[in-house]
Amino acid sequence: MKKKPQTTDFDTAKSILEACSCLSAKEIGRGISSLKDKKEWLDKIGGRCLVTIIRYRNPYTPKEDQIECIKVLIKEGVNPNAGIDANGISHALFWAIRNDDRDIAELLISCGCDPLLEDYNGETVFDALEEIGLVENECLSMVKAYVEHESMQNSVFEPLVAPSSAPIASI
């Protein structure tokens, strides 16, 4: 009798990334629940998962599937600020704004994504968008207005909903 090969966390992480590219919230959740070291792996691939879902969304796939996948990742512990690193992976919010996707940008901010977070070069999402020549779209205007409103209200940026108290089901 052949032994079934043991699935490693590495294999599971690859499956989670594949599920993100297919926008399968059920498979993402199943993969995350089978990780032996969930926190370590979500720290490693969480940002890439968010960026994959937002950046590479198939236009023929329902928007609700994309939103559900993002909610599953954040509910499972992926930091909505994930994705900024020295390997050139852009902030998830960058891709939402670049794609002029207001729904996704609002979801990320409501779950604690900080539009003023700096990357390894000290640049914010706004700096990166300016570098590629994107100076205005509806989503960018909304995020800028939100940041301006928050800066007038507080000296420290506050997300729309604190990440730890954000019940994903109610978003």
With respect to residue 2, please indicate whether it lies within any of the assigned structural domains: no
Contact call for residues 54 and 70 (beta carbons, < 8 A):
yes
Residue 19 lies in a domain: yes
pLDDT value of position 88: 56
- The pLDDT tens digits for 58-96 are 778 888 999 999 999 999 999 888 875 545 557 888 888
Tell me whether residue 4 is in a domain.
no
In a domain, 85, yes or no: yes
Total-model pTM = 0.78
User: Domain range spanning residue 106?
Assistant: 9-170
Mark 114-128 as b/e (b = at least 16 C-beta within 10 Å). Answer: bbebebeeebbbbeb
Counting Cβ atoms within 10 Å, is residue 64 exposed (0-12), middle (13-18) or buried (19+)?
A: exposed
Write the CATH number for 47: 1.25.40.20
Total domains, the chain: 1
Residue 162 reports pLDDT greater than 70: no
Roughly how many angstroms between the first and final C-alpha of the chain, as a whole number? 49
pLDDT of residue 70: 93
